[in-house]
Amino acid sequence: MADSGNWCLIESDPGVFTGLIKGIGVSGVQVEEIYSIDKDTLEDLKPVHGLIFLFKWQGRDPASATNQAPIEYENPDVFFAQQVITNACATQAILSILLNSRSIELGEELTNFKAFVSDFPAEIKGHAISNSDVIRAVHNSFARSDPFINEMGDPNSKEKEDLFHFIAYTPINGCLYELDGLQEGPRNHGPAEGDAWLEKVGPIIQERMARYEGGEIRFNLMAVVDDRIKVYQEKVAAYEVQLKALQDKEGPDAGA
């Protein structure tokens, strides 16, 4: 993997990620930080398009290998890009969710980008992301130097640094996928129709966290969800329809 390629560090923050998503022209979704992956928490956030997980990088990740999820090297239905430069994995994790969704409105920029690179191999897709002036400019507009999210670090540094990495989990064609730009391909965690992937992903993330020493607490989990204002507006509209139906059923003399 090459150096930063003029990509800056960005903060692991749901507001930053939401701004980044809007900045590249995607509408109707936002990012929410979550502190639990229990059923009730995820139920309140539905529909969930994907999860972004931040963890301390420990070299070639043993956690993915031990859970026996196979790598799919050739799957035209999955958009997968390898990470070719440092500092880009946060944006790449976000793109992994956006570009694999069939329900998110990508906007003109990402729609054209996806169409242009869809037939490229994973490494070339990664180079296309790193060379996109629009994506890089939006990413860098949220630049912040923060050691908590240092991605891969300086290979020439003599000081030992804690390095952190972002990956994505998202449902694609009825299966749960793990999309990690440092791997050779997407990992298929098996069938998970509908919202069943939300129940399946919990133990996978917990198993990964359990591989760290007990004092390690620097994890971050965020969900890409529908815009909450839009969700609540739709709920209000549905309640108004139900209320009107009840009023019409009871007639003008109801409550007299």
Residue 246 φ/ψ, nearest 5 degrees: -65, -40
Res 158: pLDDT: 46
- Just list the catalytic residues: 89, 165
**2 confidence band (pLDDT: 50, 70, 90):** low
What is the Cα–Cα distance from 90 to 149, expressed in whole angstroms?
9
Could you read off the pLDDT of 220-243 as tens digits, one per residue? 999 999 998 887 787 788 888 888
Q: Which residue has the higher pLDDT, 38 or 134?
A: 134
**Can you count the helices (H) and strands (E) in the chain?**
9, 6
Angle at 137 between CA 17 and CA 53, to 5 degrees: 30
Give the range among 17-21, 32-36, 124-128, 246-250 with minimum mean pLDDT.
246-250
Q: In sequence order, what are the residues at sequence separation of 6 or more whose Cβ sits closer than 8 angstroms to the Cβ of residue 153?
A: 86, 161, 163
**161 confidence band (pLDDT: 50, 70, 90):** low
Q: Is 115 left (phi over 0), alpha (psi -120 to 50) or beta?
A: alpha
Q: How far is CA 46 from CA 115, 141, 223, in A?
A: 28, 29, 10
Contact 145, 15 (CB under 8 A): no
Quote the CATH superfamily of domain 14-62+70-227. Answer: Peptidase C12, ubiquitin carboxyl-terminal hydrolase (3.40.532.10)
Res 64: pLDDT: 44
Res 98: pLDDT: 98
**What pTM did the predictor assign?**
0.84
> Helices 133-140 and 14-23: crossing angle, nearest 10°?
150
Could you read off the pLDDT of 86-95 as tens digits, one per residue? 899 999 999 9
Could you read off the pLDDT of 44-76 as tens digits, one per residue? 899 999 999 998 877 665 544 445 688 998 889
Q: Which residue has the higher pLDDT, 118 or 255?
A: 118
Name the token pair of 93. Answer: 């994790």
Chain centroid offset of residue 256 CA: 54
Contact 62, 211 (CB under 8 A): yes
* Residue-range domain boundaries for the chain: 14-62+70-227
Query: In residues, how long is the chain?
Result: 256
Residue 148 has pLDDT above 50, yes or no: no
Q: Do the bridges between strand 29-33 and strand 220-226 make them parallel or antiparallel, or are there none, so unpaired?
A: antiparallel
Res 8: pLDDT: 92
What is the Cα–Cα distance from 155 to 95, expressed in whole angstroms?
26
